[in-house]
Structure 1
Amino acid sequence: MIIGDPRSKKMQSVMNLKIKYRESFRPFAPSVAHDRVSEFFEFDSDRHVSPYMLIVAPVHEDKRIPMSAEQQQLFGIEKLNVPRSEIPSITHVDYSARLQTVHPETNPRYYDLIKNFESKTGCPIVINTSFNVRGEPIVCTPEDAYRCFMRTEMDYLVIENHLMSKSEQPKWEKDDSWKDEFELD
């Protein structure tokens, strides 16, 4: 998976354009620590789970950013780029999000990652998107992951207990012909 900071107003665009190579306005899914989900979304985490991003829930009213009259008059991409909440990279234009609830019993490492992010930022949510670029299958091997990492503008790659920084990797011979290998959607 590719993760990012949902609080960033630019993260959605950066991840779409520089990593996924798709339209900048496409929203991402939030991975939320299950014990904090009801603080951000209209979702009863005591009664429901959403481990696979199959459920859409509204962002709580107190987390939303109402559009001004001037913003409501915008059209197209300009209107889509108006932040809708405190977590703009995962908030859809209708103030909803496609949730993934993360539980320590079923996904302890990912839950710990989200809780560590929360301890540093106060936000119990990270962006989650599939580890692939537009038109390619999801990575399946460490080699696939490294190749995708080096071909995009991702900053870091984690494989098991190893953290790789892009700046510390050998120079990658840029060859964009791989983009022609798969039909784009």
Structure 2
Amino acid sequence: MPYLGAAFNQEQIQNQLERLNAKYTLVADGKLFIQTAQALAEGKIVAWMQGSAEFGPRALGNRSILADPRVANLQRDLNLKIKYRESFRPFAPAILEDDVGDWFDITGSSPHMNFIYQAKPGVAEQVPSVIHVDGTARLQTVSKVGNEKFYHLLQTFKSITNCPMLVNTSLNVRGEPMVLSPEDAFNCFMNTGIDLLVIGNIVLLKTEQDSQLYKKYHYALD
């Protein structure tokens, strides 16, 4: 797997966040997945930063913006309020490898989000925000071996919603590189409509942050 980029340990993450006056909570693994999955199931947008950054063009669960694919208007809102790009741009699903055959015409796996597959009948109605107008999706299959933390998050989301997939797009905004460091992640979080930021085992809620921190950066769609 292409997780070859920079990684940050707990001390580095906390040091960067404290320099930024960020308010955060340290959460144990089990509670982390439940809290994050529950927020996603409630329609919140989550920035998810774990381990080493991806080396390549795709966010594969270590520097990702995640959301519930069942939300009908999510594609438009995510494009305009988070990514700051045209409303028609599509998003891709990350799906549990064990469940992918129930939702798409695929045999085997597609862990790098490089290929397009046809959705099975009725899938577009269940997860409208990740299916293209021609009934296809450029999907990522997730296994425990490939990305254990992302796999557990998807499993927890499935246990709550009976849906084994999430919208997965890169943790950045239009015109900016993918987030690398905790500081990058916090700045992206504070200047978009992202509701929750998870870095390692640290959780930050937008509602708990100092509103003055919003003024550092501003992005706008031309």
Q: Report the TM range for the smaller structure's normalisation.
A: 0.7 to 0.9
Tell me which of 169, 180, 199 is aligned to 1:129. Answer: 169
Q: Which position in structure 2 is the counterpart of 1:160?
A: 200
Is this contact kept in 1: 2:191–2:219, CA < 8 A?
no
Q: Which runs of 5+ in 1 are unaligned?
A: 65-84
- Identity across the alignment (%): 46
Q: Which position in structure 1 is the counterpart of 2:121?
A: 61
Is this contact kept in 2: 1:34–1:103, CA < 8 A?
yes
1:22 and 2:85 matched: yes
SS in 2 for 1:36: helix
Give the CA deviation at 1:106. 1.5
- Calculate the aligned-residue CA RMSD, in Å: 1.8
Q: Which runs of 4+ in 1 moved over 3 A?
A: 172-180
Give 1 or 2 for the bigger CA radius of gyration: 1
SS in 2 for 1:35: helix
Q: Which position in structure 2 is the counterpart of 1:114?
A: 154
CA distance in 1, matches of 2:68, 2:122: 20
1:35 and 2:98 matched: yes
Q: Which position in structure 2 is the counterpart of 1:146?
A: 186
CA distance in 2, matches of 1:24, 1:140: 25
Give the CA deviation at 1:50. 1.2
CA distance in 2, matches of 1:43, 1:154: 32
Is this contact kept in 2: 1:56–1:97, CA < 8 A?
yes
Tell me which of 104, 108, 121 is aligned to 2:144. Answer: 104
TM-score by length of 2: 0.68
Q: Which runs of 5+ in 2 are unaligned?
A: 1-63
User: Structure 2 matches for 1:163-182, cutoff 5 A?
Assistant: 163-175=203-215, 178-179=218-219
Tell me which of 67, 74, 84 is aligned to 1:11. Answer: 74
SS in 2 for 1:145: helix
Q: How many residues align?
A: 159
